[in-house]
Amino acid sequence: MPGINEQPPFKVLIIGGSYAGLAATLNLVDLCQGRKCRFNLDENDKAPEHKVPVQITIVDERDGYFHIIGLPLAIGSNVDASIFWKKFDDIPALQSPDISHIRGRVDSVDCKSRIARIVQSTGDDGHKIIEQKYDYMIACSGLRREWPSAPKSLTREAYLAETAESVQAIENAAAGVVVVGGGAVGIEIAAEIKMLQPQTKVTLVHSRQQLLSSEQLPDEFKAKTLELLTESNVELVMGARLQDTLLADDSTAAKFLLKLSDGQELYADHVINAVSRFTPTSSYLPKEACDPEGYIRITSGLQFSGDVPNKEYHYAAGDLASWSGIKRGGAAMHQAHFAAVNIHQRMLAELYKTEPTFNNLVAVAPMMALALGETAVGYFPTMGLSSGDEIRNMFFNDDLGYGICWRWMRLGEDTEYKS
Ligand SMILES: Cc1cc2nc3c(=O)[nH]c(=O)nc-3n(C[C@H](O)[C@H](O)[C@H](O)COP(=O)(O)OP(=O)(O)OC[C@H]3O[C@@H](n4cnc5c(N)ncnc54)[C@H](O)[C@@H]3O)c2cc1C
């Protein structure tokens, strides 16, 4: 058997470089380099005794990490939009010889041979097909979302042009902005626009009589959200669908005339359709790995549980994993942490014949924090309903949680490297 220094590095493929993908990468690098991992706050736990050679490759269609939680603010603020997208090359924590990244889309994964086929971007819209062999893989590619729930762009430059166009349309909307869809994204967009431009009339149109109607959350949370939105002077039209968006005639200065299903008519200069549409991004996997909706079936240890070969080398974390609870960035990072710990345990067992001990997820009840401009509202089983500064500071601060996520993942710190 080769000594540990001659042992070829374990090749780990991380599909998706957002909350789950970066959390998995950095926690795994910590453990393999012989440190306690960054998300482990348990003072009784010790650093691993052994180092493990590892080479982690992150594949993402985007050229950087995008703080998608902040998009409701980015669509109305160029300054925040610019902060929220960091190219992978500009993230200090990723500049380690143990970590590399490929800009490209994973197209298919063969679990048996453990080879991923990647459509790699070669710049200027060119691409080439490459194959990447791996020992372990973590699927962290989340959900495919449409604007305004996600940018269409895959590069920072194109994204900044996309958000600048949106900012301009909002700033020029003297006759008002209408946001369609009273789910979490529509609510946050309406509230952030009103905060950025208090003089602009902002109307939220929702087809049901209750906001957040598709979320399994207590009525008191939904009612509090409605109360705080109203207090912040967002106008609400409930129980009506948008049927038609027409160009307004010359009798008004507004650009658009909106016809609603209850006969109401609204004028606006800008309309944002925030009715959420999303699909899991698991099409690169054999369908046996997924549930009927396309979410990856996992064990409580984050390992694939569907009928595929080499399950013990395949993991999923974040929005793409089939687990209880509302999809959240915090949950994605937590799952990725556990996936990293469990993979590291398997590596140690393979190299040093140690007995692995695994971290297991527990069932998660529905919970949510919503940013509402100057304020916020939250419902958590342990805290119940809360709103105001406490919730805003805990989850969002002034940048919709960008700094909180950045610091929690320690993206701004160099990843120490000890050979
Ligand atoms: C507008 C909005 C506001 C939100 N607000 C909150 C909030 O306040 N709090 C909260 O906790 N959660 C919030 N969420 C939910 C949160 O954003 C998600 O739970 C979180 O993004 C999940 O992280 P993830 O890493 O699993 O996936 P994602 O963040 O979706 O990242 C997936 C990554 O994979 C890449 N990718 C996709 N397919 C491929 C492929 N085939 N090959 C290569 N790369 C691929 C994508 O480019 C992306 O970078 C919000 C979501 C939205 C849309």
- For ligand 1, atom 28: residue with the closest CA: 142
343-396 confidence digits (pLDDT tens) = 999 999 999 999 999 999 999 999 999 999 999 999 999 999 999 999 999 999
pLDDT class for 162, splitting at 50, 70, 90?
Answer: very high
pLDDT in tens, 94-141: 999 999 999 999 999 999 999 999 999 998 789 999 999 999 999 999
Pocket of ligand 1 (CB under 6 A): 15-21, 59-62, 68-69, 71-72, 105-106, 140-143, 145, 149-150, 185, 281, 284, 318-319, 327-330, 332, 369
Percent of residues, the chain, with pLDDT higher than 70: 98
Question: CB atoms < 10 A from the CB of 362, how many?
Answer: 7
Tell me if 10-70+85-146+277-366+399-408 shares its fold with 167-276. yes
Q: How far is the CA of 105 from the centre of ligand 1 (A)?
A: 15
Q: What is the pLDDT of residues 10-56, one digit of tens each?
A: 999 999 999 999 999 999 999 999 999 999 999 999 999 999 999 99
The answer to whether the peptide bond before residue 148 is cis (omega within 30 degrees of 0) is yes
In this prediction the pTM is: 0.97
Q: Which CATH code for domain 10-70+85-146+277-366+399-408? A: 3.50.50.60
Domain locations in the chain as residue ranges: 10-70+85-146+277-366+399-408, 167-276
Can you tell me the mean pLDDT for 218-240? 98
Ligand 1 atom with minimal separation from the 118 CA: 42
d(CA 253, CA 268): 9
> Which atom of ligand 1 approaches the CA of 17 most closely?
49
Helices (H), 288-328: none
Tell how far the Cα of 19 is from the centroid of ligand 1, in angstroms.
7
Beta partners for residue 298, in sequence order = 304
- 402-412: pLDDT as tens digits: 999 999 999 99
- 53: CA distance to ligand 1 center in Å? 29
Secondary structure percentages of the chain, helix, strand, coil, to 5: 30, 30, 45
Of 14, 15, 18, 225, best ligand 1 pocket probe by most atoms within 8 Å of the beta carbon? 18
Average pLDDT, rounded, for the chain: 96
CATH topology of domain 167-276: FAD/NAD(P)-binding domain (3.50.50)
Distance, CA 150 to ligand 1 centroid (Å)?
8
Q: Determine the Cα–Cα distance for residues 170 and 287; give it in Å rounded to an integer.
A: 42
Q: How far does the centroid of ligand 1 lie from the alpha carbon of residue 329, in Å?
A: 7
317 Cα nearest atom in ligand 1: 26
Report CA(419)–ligand 1 centroid distance (Å). 33
- Which atom of ligand 1 lies closest to the CA of 189? 1
Give 63-75 pLDDT, tens digit per residue.
999 999 999 999 9
Q: How far apart are CA 161 and CA 184, in angstroms?
A: 25
> What CA–CA distance (Å, rounded) separates 380 from 49?
37
